[in-house]
Amino acid sequence: MQRRKVDRAQRMRVRRIWWERNGAFVRGAFAGSAITALAAWVIEAWVLK
């Protein structure tokens, strides 16, 4: 029981470290894909009526 609690805390710490290293890249990729999808939707909705 105690070991599982420590394991969960350690997993959260590892995830936070990974997010500090890769968070900017993940956010950039997500924002880029969202902007691309939005632009494609706008073009499809307005230009290809």
pLDDT of residue 1: 65
Q: Where are the domains of the chain?
A: 1-49
pLDDT of residue 2: 74
35 contact partners, CB below 8 Å, separation of at least 6 = none
Tokens found for residue 12: 């959260």
Give the model confidence (pLDDT) of 1-49 as tens digits: 677 888 999 999 999 999 999 999 999 999 999 999 999 999 999 988 7
pTM: 0.51
pLDDT of residue 23: 93
